[in-house]
Amino acid sequence: MSVKEDLYYSEDHEWVREEEDYLVIGVTDFAQEELGDIVFVELPEVDEEFDKDDSFGVLESVKAVSDTFIPVSGRVIKVNEDLLDNPELINDDPYGEGWLIKVDPADDSELDELLSAEEYAEFIEEE
């Protein structure tokens, strides 16, 4: 199970990476491991706006259905369309090619409320 440095994490097992003009959001290695083989992904439309902790998509594994919750408020500027045909990218590379959406954040200070890599590692230890 890997937790990547330099990312922000939520207790719902999403990660956030800060780029210059936007944020990239995905699910953690722990989350994909828990779900098992992901076979279907439902993502939002570009320009959809969400408040922090809203459900913005659905991941389905062979056995289970799971909502994804946005860790910060903002507007979707890009979705990872490769996942529509290759949902297994989330299992194979959750912090890289398996990213879910890119977001223009509404309030940068929300990032401070998220967990650091170290805090998230402790959090999943207790789960």
Residues that bind other proteins (rule: CB under 8 A) add up to a total of 12
Q: How far apart are CA 92 and CA 45, in angstroms?
A: 24
Q: Is 63 in the site for other proteins (CB under 8 A)?
A: yes
**Stretch of residues binding other proteins (CB under 8 A), selected from 3-11, 36-44, 109-117, 118-126:** 36-44
Among 50, 49, 67, CA closest to 58 = 67
Q: Is 48 in the site for other proteins (CB under 8 A)?
A: no
Q: Tell me which residue has tokens 């389905």.
A: 60
Q: Is 122 in the site for other proteins (CB under 8 A)?
A: no
Question: Which is nearer to other proteins, 33 or 110 (by Cβ)?
Answer: 33
Figure out which of the listed residues 1, 2, 40, 108 binds other proteins, where binding follows CB under 8 A. Answer: 40
Relative to beta strand 65-69, strand 74-79 is unpaired
Q: Is 108 in the site for other proteins (CB under 8 A)?
A: no
Q: Tell me which residue has tokens 């922090």.
A: 52
Q: Is 58 in the site for other proteins (CB under 8 A)?
A: yes
Q: How far apart are CA 42 and CA 116, in angstroms?
A: 27
**Stretch of residues binding other proteins (CB under 8 A), selected from 1-9, 17-25, 37-45, 118-126:** 37-45
Q: Tell me which residue has tokens 């912090």.
A: 95
